[in-house]
Amino acid sequence: MNTTFILDGIEVSEHIKKNLHDRVMKLKENGITPCLATILVGDDPSSATYVRMKGNTCEKLGIVSKRIHLPIETTTEELVQCIEELNLDVNVDGILLQHPVPPQIDERTAFEAIDLRKDVDGVTSYGFGQLAFGFGKYPCCTPAAIMTILDYYNIQIEGKHAVVVGRSPILGKPASIMLLNRDATVTTCHSKTQNLVEIVKQADIIVAAVGRPNFIQGDWIKEGAVILDAGYNEGNIGDVDYEACFEKASAITPVPGGVGPVTISMLLKHTVDSAELRAKK
């Protein structure tokens, strides 16, 4: 009988936050308080909830949460001006632009306005390039969370065949790069991939990042595969058919309580990393 191990993201997140708390206290002793600035444009309720959750977690750790709420009619130019002001604020260590933004805003232009030193969410193309070369300081937080979970549970990456289902620039692509940088053999699949099921069946490690509920089916999984479900769909449903895949996997992340909590912790870790660099100047 197969025994499947649940990769508990809440446990991993709590471990990270305990370490961060100690680091924040040390920074404060030296007169530095880490600060994360979050920008919300408009009134999307899900985005507002995410920003509030991140802010509350910051405050519990002693990190300043600077929340900026711009009206829904904000232009690209106005948003960029706001970001540039935060770039110049020496007390701000990280900038998070909550997405999606309203349709009149050029999101990519706004992302690129973020100073690389404060790009703690890993959204700039410059940061992506550094990640590809293996020296990026702040990778996208969800892929970073996936790698952190693998490391926390001592799951071997080197030499394994990892299949990433999804190719978004802030999840699928950077996840593929990070796995490749750790010596996995990586196949990246997407909506145009042929024979998707056959490819997934070859995977030792599966990253589900497609944004479709219950997309990855149990009969796609080979015995003993490790599954990291980065999907979060309406109704707290992941991209993986959890019950069916649980029967085959050696280890799997639940939704909720898997990759999500660690993603938020990685955002805060990057903010503290940035504050420590500020303290050294």
Active site residues: 54, 98, 121
Name the one residue in this structure whose structure tokens are 């790069």: 177
Beta bridge partners of 207: 164, 228
Sheet holding 161-165, edge to edge: 5-6, 251-252, 226-229, 205-208, 161-165, 185-189
Pairing between strand 94-97 and 35-41?
parallel
The token duo for 202 is 């070859």
8 Å CB contact between 218 and 226: no
8 Å CB contact between 10 and 40: no
Question: What is the phi/psi pair of residue 150, to 5°?
Answer: -60, -45
| 165 SS3 class | strand
Q: Where are the beta strands (DSSP E) in the chain?
A: 5-6, 35-41, 64-70, 94-97, 161-165, 185-189, 205-208, 226-229, 251-252
| 70 SS3 class | strand
Pairing between strand 5-6 and 185-189?
unpaired
Question: What is the phi/psi pair of residue 254, to 5°?
Answer: -80, 165
